[in-house]
Structure 1
Amino acid sequence: MTAWLFDLGNTRLKCAPLRADGSVGDAVALPHREDDVAAALAQLLPGRIDVAYLASVANPALRVAVLDALTARCQRISLARTQVRLGAVRIAYADPRKLGVDRFLALLAAHARIGDAALICGVGTALTIDLIDADGRHLGGRIAPSPTLMREALHERAPQLPESGGDYIDFASDTEDALASGCDGAALALIERSLDAARQRLGRTPQLILHGGGAEALAAHLPNATQVATLVLEGLAQWAIAESVA
């Protein structure tokens, strides 16, 4: 059986084959626009797929475009959803519909990877932070704009402020560096504050895991962090295995 995993975020579509042993194959990031996603999938995927597993936090129009493209070559499509509990992982939200499926899948993957307490930080359009204990209990999280979104919002309101460029410097001497330092610094401060709060809550420091398109820029300033580019896809693989045996 051929099975593929699809992680449709607000900025990227990541795809990977699901191997027979339940692991994730080589991941590929595809264009994100509605008008070219079908052509990109046609180039990447085999002619026919038995099952596609899709996790989506994107806008409805883009999700429909991806579903239409997958329907043309997939026998079955399964949409991942957040659940109150899956295996050892239990979410903190009373209403599972309010916890983004990407955050839920990241919890599954982190617990499967380390089986210990973890602070999971997703750096995409938003910066999401979630704490999970060693028993798989989600203790809640935080959401803020990512550094990329901060830059875009500043540029939209003040076009003279560039939306990209610059390096992180404690006290910058030009605008580009000041913007990079301020926006990256805000994200780093929130992560470090969350680590302190997690340490107080748990009595020890959890493993810090970073994922998402903007993780690499922050990882350079967080030497104890583990960066996992395929974390959501790994969680989707866990969900897919559970769904197939349900």
Structure 2
Amino acid sequence: MILLLDVGNTRLKWRLQAEAPGIGGTTFQEGNLGHGELGRLTELLAAHPEIQRLIGSNVAGPAVGAEIARLAGAQRITAEWLRPSAAQCGVRNHYLRPETLGADRWAALIGARARHTGPALVVTAGTATTLDLLDGDGNFRGGAILPGVELMRQALAGNTAQLPLADGSYSETPRNTADAIHSGILHAQAGAVERMFRQIADQPAALCLLGGGAADAFSSLLQIPLRRAENLVLDGLGLIAHSGPHSNPHSGRSS
């Protein structure tokens, strides 16, 4: 069995899957933890002695990665961290320096390619919102990153004298400040997605794959072909686990 980890900026998503090919093989269990709950990984690993590998993407920084590696090591498992490459699992990475692409974005692109073989805009709306273009031949052409919904909200409140950190509602014509802030943020998110989608809009079967915890906030505003697609990072990691050489070939439970 393999434990897959998507270590994000605010939380960790995990999935237990069988060592079988496909988008994740057979998924037995999945869930998520806040960064303050990493100790619970010990319970998860101890409860499943059949886990032989831990494969993850980590954008939360070296300290979080080191703590996860320590917890796994206590169970005689070596943490394997994904490093983006020039090509993997049918996706080719056209970043100027492929290894500098975020590991979560790379895994999500691989997961997206398995779900949709046509041109796609892969959008993950979390702490940051990422928008990545994948053509019909599996080429990652590039992408954009912008602050997520909550970061935009915090930035306005923290860097202006008279704009509050207040909850508002969406309106086409906001008539109070809280609604104006909230509506402006959602227009910014949806507008960025639609502008990026224009680059593939005229291609057959072009589709936006949208996921992430903040996706519900603006998905209804999007006027493009759209499919909700959660946990693409875990899907991609599951495929990578069976693709041959990976970031750390010396893995598994030590004897």
TM-score (ref. length: structure 1): 0.88
1:27 to 2:27 alignment: no
- The percent identity for this pair of structures is 32
Deviation larger for 176-185 or 4-13 = 176-185
Aligned to 2:253: none
Contact persistence 1:106–1:232 (CA under 8 A): yes
Paired with 1:42 and 1:160, the residues of 2 have a C-alpha distance of 46
Contact persistence 1:216–1:227 (CA under 8 A): no
* Local SS of the residue matching 1:130: strand
Deviation by residue 1:167-207 (Cα, 9 ceiling, x = unmatched): 2211212222222111111010011111112225xx44621
Higher share of residues assigned helix: 1
Deviation by residue 1:97-144 (Cα, 9 ceiling, x = unmatched): 221111111111111111111110111121111111111011111111
**What is the letter of the counterpart of residue 215 of structure 1?**
A
Deviation larger for 16-25 or 81-90 = 16-25
Shift of 1:94: 2.5
Contact persistence 1:47–1:73 (CA under 8 A): no
In structure 2, which of residues 110, 113, 123 is the aligned counterpart of residue 111 of structure 1? 113
Deviation larger for 162-171 or 178-187 = 162-171
Unaligned runs of 5+ in 1: none
**What is the letter of the counterpart of residue 91 of structure 1?**
N
Paired with 1:176 and 1:74, the residues of 2 have a C-alpha distance of 51
Aligned to 1:6: 5
Shift of 1:72: 1.9
Q: Which has the higher contact order (CA 8 A, sep 6+)?
A: 2
Shift of 1:54: 1.3
Unaligned runs of 5+ in 2: 250-255
1:132 to 2:131 alignment: no
Question: CA, structure 1 residues 161+80, in 2 after alignment: closer, same or farther (shift >3 Å)?
Answer: same
Paired with 1:121 and 1:135, the residues of 2 have a C-alpha distance of 19
Deviating above 6 A after TM superposition, structure 1's stretches of 4 or more consecutive aligned residues are none
Number of residue-to-residue matches in the alignment: 240
Paired with 1:158 and 1:68, the residues of 2 have a C-alpha distance of 42
